[in-house]
């Protein structure tokens, strides 16, 4: 970590020396460590330190981007000169007007000393306790535990200056028995808030249930989807539907259909950086303040997210969702939340006459038919048959193929509790559990033919 004063000072000097008409610098860097384990022993343990600067310049309406991971002032000034050369060979971008003006940002608390100072030895000591906990039940543990600190700064020749430090602690615990596996995970900016023992205990309890998996016939069944399943699906919806490019180009199911109903009236999906359970980066990679954006409101298509250029193209206002310079994807939502309901996972199970409890999805793909949000994927880490309000037994992993518009039109219940599913870069999904009627399963995981 370079620190706010020193980093912004360096970037300011580079902007002042840049040969470009206009200059924007986006700096991302930090120190992170990751410990991976299997069979209750660490098999991979890494730390890295890196900082990259995206130098974007504008010559009139021509843009050029050069990225370097050297932090010497001269190197950055030279990168600006190379970016000018790139810009001069590009056609004009009719949607570029200017880099954003200085702005005020929401305050979000994303940095905690306890996490920044969490060492590889501390991660190993934590895992040693969890391994001992699983040893007592005769299970092995696999997974990953990462922690680190990062800083993101944006500075441009209009005087905009934005800086945010972040820390992250993220752990995945996968208990493994001779019969099956389960998975529990946690994310927090503050490592001291993670209840490692409780998390492991929940995973171990689920793992004990995941045995004697029986095969059930494929077809339509009610499902109770836990939050991590929805996080996978929402990530795909962000790519194929809630971003600016898919909307402008007509590939999104929202394109030309704002104001129309596409999901059930109990579904509200929005992007927000300040939630009771999680906080995110208050600006995008252009330094534009992040706005709360309602994507789906009571099942009705309300909007998508934009950066400055895609907003100009769509003749609307930016929402603060720009990606790092030079990327071709337009704007993408980063902090997608599904509004909670008034149920609970236990109530959903007890109300289910016959259905499946799905704890995790695997390898979801949303490119089958994006206009219908048709997706496929597998279940993983424990799929359980629920009958007459009780978990009866585990079943073999299943392939599902389903339109998410149909699935989100068939939601019968939503939990009050939500789970933060995140990566270390300031993005997260905040998802409840949901009960979906008539979800479509199309295959089974097994070695012999179906």
Which residues in the 80-109 window bind other proteins by CB under 8 A? Answer: 82, 86, 89-91, 93, 95
Residues 215-274 that bind other proteins (CB under 8 A): 218, 245, 249-251
Question: With binding defined as CB under 8 A, does residue 370 bind other proteins?
Answer: yes
312 or 351: CB nearest other proteins: 312
In whole angstroms, the minimum distance from the beta carbon of 175 to other proteins comes to 10
Helix (H, G, I), strand (E, B) or coil at 279: strand
Give the residue, chosen from 11, 59, 112, 143, that forms a contact with other proteins under the rule CB under 8 A: 143
**Residues of span 391-410 touching other proteins by CB under 8 A:** 397, 399, 401
Nearer to other proteins, 40 or 415 (CB): 40
Q: Interface with other proteins by CB under 8 A: which range of 110-118, 294-302, 347-355, 370-378?
A: 370-378
Phi, psi (deg, nearest 5) at residue 231: -60, -40
Quick one: 57 or 349, whose CB is closer to other proteins?
57
How many Å apart are CA 356 and CA 387, to the nearest integer? 9
Pairing outcome for strands 390-395 and 374-387:
antiparallel
What track of x and - describes contact with other proteins for positions 328 through 347 (by CB under 8 A)? xxx-----------------
Choice between 54 and 242, CB closer to other proteins? 54
Segment contacting other proteins (CB under 8 A): 191-199, 274-282, 326-334, 428-436? 326-334
Residue 317: CB atoms within 10 Å: 11
- Give whichever of 107 and 211 is closer to other proteins, judged by the CB atom: 211
CB 324 → other proteins: shortest distance, Å? 9
> Which position among 9, 21, 49, 74 is part of the footprint of other proteins (CB under 8 A)?
49
Question: d(Cα 96, Cα 300) in Å, to the nearest integer?
Answer: 31
In sequence order, what DSSP letters do the residues of 337-392 get, joined into one string? EE---SB-HHHHHHH-SEEEEEEEEEEEEEEEEGGGTEEEEEEEEEEEEEETTEEE
- What is residue 209's DSSP assignment? H
* 287 scored as a contact of other proteins (CB under 8 A): no
Pick from 202, 302, 362, 393: which binds other proteins (CB under 8 A)?
A: 362
Instruction: State the Cα–Cα distance between residues 245 and 5, nearest whole angstrom.
Output: 36
- In the bound complex, what is the minimum distance in angstroms from residue 242's beta carbon to other proteins? 17
Q: Residue 14 belongs to what H/E stretch? A: helix 4-17
Shortest approach of other proteins to residue 347 CB, angstroms? 30
The residue within the footprint of other proteins, chosen from 2, 12, 42, 298 (CB under 8 A), is: 42
**Least distance (Å) between residue 237 CB and other proteins:** 15
Query: CB-based burial of residue 219 (10 Å sphere; 0-12 exposed, 13-18 middle, 19+ buried)?
Result: exposed
Q: Are 292 and 300 in contact (CB under 8 A)?
A: no
Q: Binding residue for other proteins (CB under 8 A) from 168, 189, 380, 406?
A: 380
Q: Are strands 184-188 and 161-176 parallel, antiparallel or unpaired?
A: antiparallel
- Among 160, 430, 415, CA closest to 308: 160
354 binds other proteins (CB under 8 A): no
Number of residues that bind other proteins (CB under 8 A): 93
Q: Which stretch binds other proteins (CB under 8 A): 114-122, 190-198, 206-214, 410-418?
A: 114-122
CA distance 371 to 378: 21
Minimum CB distance to other proteins, residue 109 (Å): 25
Among 8, 59, 123, 153, binds other proteins (CB under 8 A): 123
Q: Tell which positions 425-444 bind other proteins, by CB under 8 A.
A: 442-444
Residue 171 beta carbon to other proteins: minimum distance, rounded to whole angstroms:
11
Cβ neighbours of residue 224 under 8 Å, at least 6 residues apart? 345, 348, 349, 352, 355, 356, 357, 358, 386, 433, 434, 435, 436
Tell which one of 6, 16, 119, 316 touches other proteins (CB under 8 A): 119
Measured distance CA(401)–CA(441) in Å, rounded: 6
Nearer to other proteins, 192 or 365 (CB): 365
Site for other proteins in 7-36 (CB under 8 A): 32-36
| 214 belongs to the binding site for other proteins (CB under 8 A) | no
- Sole binder of other proteins in the list 378, 391, 393, 437 (CB under 8 A): 378
Which positions from 162 through 191 interact with other proteins, judged by CB under 8 A?
172, 174, 176, 181, 183
Strands (E), 191-257: 219-225
Q: Give CA angle at 283 (279, 287), nearest 5°.
A: 165
Which distant-in-sequence residues (6+ apart) come within 8 Å of 206 by Cβ? 175, 182, 183, 184, 359, 382
Smallest Cα–Cα separation from 332: which of 363, 306, 355? 306
């Amino acid at each position: 970590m370079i620190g706010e004063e020193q980093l912004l000072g360096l970037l300011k000097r580079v902007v002042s020396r840049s040969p470009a008409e206009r200059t924007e610098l986006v700096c991302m860097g930090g120190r992170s460590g990751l410990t991976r384990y299997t069979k209750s022993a660490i098999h991979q343990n890494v730390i890295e330190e890196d900082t990259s600067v995206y130098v974007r310049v504008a010559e009139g309406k021509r843009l050029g981007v050069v990225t370097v991971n050297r932090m010497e002032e001269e190197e950055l000034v030279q990168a600006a000169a190379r970016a000018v050369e790139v810009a001069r060979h590009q056609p004009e971008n009719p949607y570029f007007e200017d880099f954003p003006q200085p702005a005020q940002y929401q305050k979000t608390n994303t940095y905690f000393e306890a996490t920044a100072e969490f060492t590889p030895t501390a991660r190993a000591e934590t895992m040693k306790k969890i391994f001992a906990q699983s040893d007592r039940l005769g299970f092995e543990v696999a997974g990953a535990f990462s922690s680190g600190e990062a800083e993101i700064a944006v500075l441009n020749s209009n005087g905009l200056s934005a800086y945010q430090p972040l820390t992250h602690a993220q752990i995945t615990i996968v208990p493994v028995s001779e019969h099956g596996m389960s998975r529990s995970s946690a994310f927090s900016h503050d490592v001291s808030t993670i209840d490692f023992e409780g998390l492991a205990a929940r995973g171990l309890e689920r793992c004990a249930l995941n045995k004697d998996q029986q095969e059930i016939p494929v077809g339509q069944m009610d499902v109770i989807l836990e939050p991590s399943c929805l996080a996978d699906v929402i990530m795909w919806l962000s790519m194929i539907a809630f971003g600016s490019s898919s909307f402008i180009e007509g590939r999104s199911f929202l394109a030309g259909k704002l104001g129309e109903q596409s999901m059930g009236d109990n579904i509200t999906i929005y992007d927000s950086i300040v939630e009771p359970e999680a906080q995110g980066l208050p600006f995008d990679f252009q330094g534009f303040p992040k706005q709360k954006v309602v994507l789906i409101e009571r099942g009705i298509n309300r909007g998508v997210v934009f950066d400055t250029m895609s907003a100009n193209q769509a003749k609307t206002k930016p929402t603060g969702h720009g990606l790092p310079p030079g990327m071709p994807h337009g704007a993408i939502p980063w902090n997608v939340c599904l509004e909670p309901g008034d149920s609970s996972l236990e109530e959903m199970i007890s109300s289910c006459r016959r259905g499946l409890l799905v704890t995790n999805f695997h390898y979801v793909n949303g490119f089958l038919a994006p206009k219908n949000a048709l997706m496929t994927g597998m279940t993983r880490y424990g799929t359980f048959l629920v009958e007459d309000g009780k978990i009866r037994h585990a079943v073999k992993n299943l392939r599902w193929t389903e339109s998410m518009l149909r699935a989100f039109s068939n939601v019968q219940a939503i939990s009050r509790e939500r789970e933060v599913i995140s990566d270390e870069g300031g993005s997260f999904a905040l998802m409840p559990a949901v009960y979906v009627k008539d979800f479509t399963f199309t295959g089974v995981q097994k070695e012999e033919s179906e």
